[in-house]
Structure 1
Amino acid sequence: MNLTVDLVDETDTLSEDHQQLVNQIVEKASQMEGLRGEVELSVTFVDDNRIQEINKEYRDKDQPTDVISFALNEQGEDELDILSDELPNMLGDIIISVPRIHEQAEEYGHSFERELAFLTIHGFLHLLGYDHITEDGEKEMFARQEDILTEYGITR
Structure 2
Amino acid sequence: MPVLVSNLQEKVPVDKGLLELAEKAAQAAVLEGGGPKSAEVSVALVDDDYIRRLNRAYRRKDSPTDVLSFAFREGDQLPGGEGLLGDVVVSLEAARRQCREYGHSYEREVAFLVVHGVLHLLGYDHQDEEGRRAMREKEEAVLSRLGLAR
Normalising to structure 2: TM-score of the pair?
Answer: 0.90
Residue identity matched to 2:143: L
Picking from 115, 125, 148, the partner of 2:119 is: 125
**Are 2:32 and 1:38 aligned?**
no
Q: Residues 123-144 of structure 1, C-alpha deviation per residue, up to 9 Å, x if partnerless?
A: 0100000011112111111111
Unmatched segments (≥5 aa) in structure 2: none
Other-structure match for 2:71: 71
Other-structure match for 1:78: none
Alpha-carbon distance, 1:36 to partner: 3.8
Aligned counterparts of 2:69 and 2:34: Cα–Cα separation in 1 = 20
Unmatched segments (≥5 aa) in structure 1: 75-80
**Are 2:91 and 1:93 aligned?**
no
Match runs of 1:1-156 below 5 Å: 3-12=1-10, 13-74=13-74, 81-82=75-76, 86-156=80-150
Alpha-carbon distance, 1:84 to partner: 9.5
In structure 1, the residue corresponding to 2:2 is in which secondary structure? strand
Q: Where in structure 1 do 4 or more consecutive aligned residues deviate above 3 Å?
A: 33-37, 81-86
Alpha-carbon distance, 1:85 to partner: 10
Residue identity matched to 2:53: E
In structure 2, the residue corresponding to 1:38 is in which secondary structure? coil
Identity %: 39
Alpha-carbon distance, 1:6 to partner: 1.4
Whether the aligned pair in 1 keeps the contact of 2:30 and 2:119 (CA below 8 Å) is no
Whether the aligned pair in 2 keeps the contact of 1:72 and 1:91 (CA below 8 Å) is yes
In structure 2, the residue corresponding to 1:133 is in which secondary structure? coil
Normalising to structure 1: TM-score of the pair?
Answer: 0.87
Aligned counterparts of 2:37 and 2:45: Cα–Cα separation in 1 = 26
Aligned counterparts of 1:135 and 1:16: Cα–Cα separation in 2 = 37
